[in-house]
Homo-oligomer: A and B are copies of this chain.
Amino acid sequence: MTTTRQVRLAKRPQGRPDADTWNVVTEELPAVGAGEILVKVDLISIDPAMRGWLNDVRSYLPPVGIGEVMRSLDVGTVVESTHSGFSVGETVSGTFGVTEYAISDGSGVERIDLAVAPAATWLGALGITGMTAYFGLIDVGKVQAGETVLISAAAGAVGSVAGQIAKALGATVIGIAGGPEKCRMLTEEFGFDLAIDYRSENVLRRLRELAPGGVDVFFDNVGGEILDAALANLRRGARVVISGAIASYNAEKPPPGPSRYMSLLVFRASMTGFVVFDYADRYGEAVAQISKWLAEGKIKPREHVVAGGVDQFGTTLEMLFTGANTGKLLLAI
């Protein structure tokens, strides 16, 4: 029998999740059955989407139920296997949840190649994070070389990869982030052309100065006032890609929408939402392309790994909402 610490949903949060949201429990896992694997979780991906999974509403995935192990994407090591597809010692990714150990029948589990990139990058630039940036920019945003691309939460997990992909595609890239250190990283480490500090600058006015002709693609992870500022600065035919809206995930009632949405008419622009899981059958294409850019140095992966195990899950998740992380936030077990 294997003993594991796990994080279970205690109650649905009103507003920002806090200590009362979670129960950290110690459980005994059953024995590994036929065709199953036991995975020791090494790294847990901490994602803004997790907040949405806590709400009891119709969405692209069912909510996490009260008492259930919190859903997460993880990388781990196979420590027992009766499954013909997996051997002990292999490194795998899957939706194992916020737990130290998990038993799986192998569905949705993939072996990952540590010769291509370390485990953390497989949850970042080569994981759902990178897939979101890739399909959002290329399929939804239809970025073309020479266009101007604006990215919000640009120092975050998806934003930092999206900006580097846009650069690799030949675009001029402007990032919006909070604070001088993040803005410095955008231009000096991630190769963005320009950065706007939303904490000290008026984004609407600054954007008008930096992109007087307007932006062609806005890849939005934030929503709220930043979305409005971008809507005021579009170029004709612009595409606004709705990847997320972290500014409103903890709102207790629906926050105001983008009051400048009629800019879509003035600029003949579109605003389109997408869910990365719809592109699952094309992840291979994206992994191949992003691996190539990683090898060429065109994308520098950036992970922010917090130590401490599942007991630190709640405080680590909070970091997303205070902007405390740069790059992909991960919890090491």
Contact = CB atoms under 8 A, between A and B. Distances in A.
Interface of A: 58-60, 223, 228, 242-245, 248, 254-275, 278
Contacts of A244: 265
Prevailing SS type, chain A contact patch: loop
B257 A268 contact: no
Contact of A260 (B60, B254, B264): B254
A268 B275 CA distance: 7
20 contacts: A59-B266, A242-B265, A245-B262, A245-B265, A254-B260, A255-B259, A257-B258, A257-B261, A258-B261, A261-B261, A261-B271, A263-B273, A264-B271, A265-B273, A268-B273, A269-B272, A270-B270, A270-B273, A271-B271, A271-B272
A74 B260 CA distance: 31
A223, A259, A272, A273: residue with the most chain B Cβ atoms closer than 10 Å = A273
A223 B262 contact: yes
Contact of A259 (B254, B265, B274): B254
B273 A269 contact: yes
A51 to B, nearest CB: 12
